[in-house]
Amino acid sequence: MAERIHLHLISDSTGETLESVARASLARFEEVEAVKHFWPLVRSTGHLDRVLEDVAEHPGLVVFTLATGEIRNRLEAGCEALGIPAVSAIDPVVAGLSIMLGKAATARPGRQHRLDEAYFARVEAINYTMAHDDGQGSENWNEADILLLGVSRTSKTPTSIYLANKGFKTANYPLVPERKPPPILFELTKPFIVGLTTTPHRLIEVRRNRLLSLAQTPETDYVDEEKIKREVAEARRLFADRGWPVIDVTRKAIEETAAAVMRLMNREEASQT
């Protein structure tokens, strides 16, 4: 039986940081079922009092990112009175930066989410990525930051969208047997091109599940083992011939694949400086 706990995530901003911290931390514990109580945009004592009522009703760990002293102090005092632990998610990092920079941090709720140039760049990246999914708009590929290549069902689209949310204009193109890629692919100068691959066995599983979800017969060339082996081999040969880096997505989550793409791109940029 999984152990069940309540986890209260309290933020004076959107709470995205807390979501990431909670997800990464919970992954370190097996057989734990967390009931998340999500409280974003907590910027008044009245709102906080309602949060504390829920904390009292469902005791559990409190994790917070609160910049305003009054609300933070009230939360910590309330949790102490209830005998419930309260942990700041970013205090150690802020303290370290304060020491390194020799200055105190400012207390501005939601500052990291202000509508600055980075925000609008992210919106532009998302719009570009959605318009250049699955080989669309190849004439504009030189505007991309990243171009993902791979056979069908190698997580190109979800990885592209994840990268777009990080601010990277990402296009992707499916490699299809007996169909040559557009000539422009071999003339590109800007985008960082990465090949995505997986094992034939895993590809068969994913494609079968895809066909079943669409109420289609799973007995087609799309899932033929020998043809899939050739398909994967041809894609790998193309990547090797062009010197494009390759990421095996067989056992990777989308976040891990995107992180690997960004690491490779940073390494490439560093080598050119």
Q: Is 13 annotated as a binding residue?
A: no
Q: What is the mean pLDDT of residues 227-253?
A: 95
pLDDT at 14: 75
42 labelled ligand-binding: no
Task: Give the chain's domains with CATH numbers.
Answer: 3-112 (3.40.50.10700), 117-271 (3.40.50)
Give me the chain's average pLDDT, please. Answer: 87
Residues 89-105, mean pLDDT to the nearest whole number: 78
pLDDT higher than 60, residue 31: yes
- Name which of 80-89, 92-101, 188-197, 249-258 the model is least confident about: 92-101
> Is the pLDDT confidence value at 231 over 60?
yes
Q: List residues bridging with 196 in a β-sheet.
A: 247
Rounded average pLDDT over 158-163: 90
Give me the percent of the chain exceeding a pLDDT of 70: 93
- 152 marked as binding residue: yes
Q: Which of 228, 102, 96, 107 is nearest to 175 (CA)?
A: 228
129 is in an annotated binding site: no
**Residue showing tokens 């891990």:** 256
**17 known member of a binding site:** no
Q: Residue 157, annotated ligand binder?
A: yes
Model confidence pLDDT, tens digit, residues 105-132: 665 555 544 445 666 788 899 889 999 9
DSSP the chain: --EEEEEEEEESS--HHHHHHHHHHHTTSSSEEEEEEEE----SHHHHHHHHHHHHHS--EEEEE---HHHHHHHHHHHHHHT--EEESSHHHHHHHHHHHTSPPP--TTGGGSS-HHHHHHHHHHHHHHHTGGGTTGGGGGG-SEEEEEETTSSHHHHHHHHHHTT--EEEEEE-TT-PPPGGGGG--SSEEEEEE--HHHHHHHHHHHHHHTT--S-SGGG-HHHHHHHHHHHHHHHHHHT--EEE-TT--HHHHHHHHHHHHHHHHHHT-
Q: Are 34 and 5 in contact (CB under 8 A)?
A: yes
